[in-house]
Amino acid sequence: MPTRSDPYTVRDPPTVEWHRSQTPIDHPDGSVTMAKLARPLLPYGYTLAFLAASGYVDGFYRATSGYVLTNYTQFNDGSCFAYVQVNAYANVMGRVQTSTYMYYSETNPGATAADHKLCKIVGGAYTNIATESIDLSNIGIGLRISCSGSTIKSMRYDLLNGIPILYVDQFTPVATISATDTSISGGQYGVRFLPADTSQQGGCDGTSAIILAAASPGPSALAILEAEVTGSGGEDDPYSPLLSKNLVETDRIDAPLFLKRERRRWEILRSKGFTDEEMRVVFGYVPQHQVDLDAATWGAFEISEKHPTAVLAVYGDNPYKAGAIRRQAEHARRKGLRVFDPPKDYGEAVALYRELAGDYPHWIAGVHNWCYQVFGHELYDWLQNVDFYYGELLEHKTHYDQMKRVPDWIIWDRLLELKAKLEQASALREERDKHLRKVEELLKKGW
């Protein structure tokens, strides 16, 4: 079991002389290798370009649409921020196990008021787990994926011209979407970027990407509703909630200038005989010519293709026509599905979780995940994060094989960090103390 008696931090790495002077000697074979020095460099606070130059990245596969670049060491909780090009289907990735197991945050310029998405790939099957109702122009933005316990978030930032990415934590995202998912418990973090020979421009690369700690707080729900799960799981037809749609042509609304330009591109291409499919093949996307007036911002709680419905927390209204949350609620009721007002306090949240959990037996995430999903308060993030480690390492061990790929010291340090945060908390004292005991048990028993 690792200890934390060493006097250095991630940003204050030890010298070679420090290693030589340890008693007992921490390098008995006399070597100081990359693997042994990985601790001070990872996981947080370094750009992928720096890690690449230092040998700490893993470009583990080349996809037909680009390259993947990730940090070398696996860890559970963390985030990756990058500048991305909206028109390049760029994405940042978290908990990457393989090319068929990961979470990723992406921009999709062809979507109708749903350009910012949070997705997962599990066993090659794609699932949308959260979506922001927004149309984005073809300019660069900041995109960040964050994994903390069973909470997966994506944050969108305004383009920070001239601002070093080392200081991104000092800026507030303009939008955050959040989902709860227990499919993947650990992995690498990084970006997908496009090769130079692509017809699309930019993407993202290691010079504009940085590995950071997990981000908090999250958004708070404005409504909670059930939705049917549809889709085939393919990249072009992912599993998704079946929500109400109201597609209208952009020339029928007061569209922003970039949407007017996109429509003009579409009209010119159509006049030259291009079909939408041909536009997608040649240009990589279909210029947007419609918007969805019913699109709302939502995040799913443990969505699964194995269950006919999913529970969604709805976070935001439609950017073009107010009332989308109400319209989605009416759509759910017409299908015989349930709609709830968001809980007012912890007691109401617990009661609603227990009511729903009986109808969703596949849920692994617990009540504090639920509280964080609907309230977004940081305390619930800490509680659910402790539950995550306790469940995966001592209790149900659903993803124990994934957890064991993460170096012990990373889990150890995260548990000590959560312990320190909880010790400073003043609310929900009974739950706080119970979770502190869980941390102590984990530290004592090991894994």
Per-residue model confidence as pLDDT tens digits over 405-447: 999 989 999 999 999 999 999 999 999 999 999 999 999 998 8
Residues 122 and 225 in one domain: yes
d(CA 436, CA 252): 57
Domain interval for residue 266: 249-290
d(CA 43, CA 411): 11
Count structural domains, the chain. Answer: 3
Where a domain ends, among 352, 377, 402? 377
Residue 11, pLDDT > 80, answer: no
Residues 141 and 27 in one domain: no
Rama region for 446: left / alpha / beta (φ>0; ψ in -120 to 50; rest): left
Q: pLDDT per residue over 280-333, tens digit each?
A: 888 777 889 999 999 999 999 999 999 999 999 999 999 999 999 999 999 999
**Of 121, 119, 141, the residue nearest 130 (C-alpha):** 119
Q: Which helix (H) or strand (E) holds 176?
A: strand 175-180
Residue 221, pLDDT > 90, answer: yes
410 inside domain? no
Residues 238 and 254 in one domain: no
pLDDT at residue 69, rounded to an integer: 76
Which residue intervals of 284-377 are DSSP H helices?
A: 324-334, 346-357, 367-375
Please give the C-alpha separations between residue 286 and each of 46, 101, 156, 267, 350, in angstroms, as whole numbers. Answer: 36, 27, 23, 11, 44
Please give the C-alpha separations between residue 109 and each of 67, 176, 395, in angstroms, as whole numbers. Answer: 20, 18, 42
**Of 183, 362, 343, the residue nearest 353 (C-alpha):** 343
Residues 259 and 239 in one domain: no
Please give the C-alpha separations between residue 350 and each of 343, 356, 367, 405, in angstroms, as whole numbers. Answer: 9, 10, 6, 33
Mean pLDDT calculated for residue range 164-168: 75
**How many percent of the chain have pLDDT more than 70?**
80
Residues 179 and 191 in one domain: yes
Residues 270 and 323 in one domain: no
Please give the C-alpha separations between residue 288 and each of 176, 266, 274, 368, in angstroms, as whole numbers. Answer: 23, 7, 14, 39
Residues 35 and 68 in one domain: no
Q: Which helix (H) or strand (E) holds 316?
A: strand 309-316
pLDDT band for 25, please (50, 70, 90 cuts): low
Amino acid identity of 288? Q
pLDDT band for 7, please (50, 70, 90 cuts): very low
**Predicted structure pTM score:** 0.85
- Residue 257 token pair: 């200038």
- The rounded Cα 205 to chain-centroid distance in angstroms is 18
Residues 25 and 46 in one domain: no
Residues 140 and 189 in one domain: yes
Where a domain ends, among 377, 404, 420? 377
- Residue 238 token pair: 């992912």
Residue 85, pLDDT > 60, answer: yes
Length of the chain: 447
Q: pLDDT per residue over 106-138, tens digit each?
A: 888 778 999 999 999 999 999 999 999 999 886
311 inside domain? yes
Residues 128 and 26 in one domain: no
**Of 299, 44, 54, 352, the residue nearest 177 (C-alpha):** 299
Most confident of 24-33, 83-92, 202-211, 406-415: 406-415
Handedness of CA 68, 402, 179, 417 (dihedral sign): negative
**CATH code at position 353:** 2.60.120.560
* CA angle at 366 for the pair 307 and 381, rounded to the nearest 5°: 120
Q: pLDDT per residue over 32-79, tens digit each?
A: 554 444 455 556 777 777 776 666 676 544 444 456 778 888 899 999
Q: pLDDT per residue over 236-271, tens digit each?
A: 899 999 999 999 999 999 889 989 999 999 999 999
406 inside domain? no
- The rounded Cα 17 to chain-centroid distance in angstroms is 40
Asked if 69 and 59 count as a contact pair (C-beta separation under 8 A), the reply is yes
424 inside domain? no
Asked if 445 and 412 count as a contact pair (C-beta separation under 8 A), the reply is no
Asked if 219 and 176 count as a contact pair (C-beta separation under 8 A), the reply is yes
186 inside domain? yes
343 inside domain? yes
407 inside domain? no
Residues 239 and 325 in one domain: yes
Where a domain ends, among 343, 377, 411? 377
Task: For residue 259, give the 3-state DSSP assignment.
Answer: helix
pLDDT at residue 20, rounded to an integer: 59
Residues 141 and 17 in one domain: no
- Residue 73 token pair: 């060491």
Half-sphere exposure for 342 (CA within 13 Å, toward CB):
19
426 inside domain? no
pLDDT at residue 172, rounded to an integer: 86
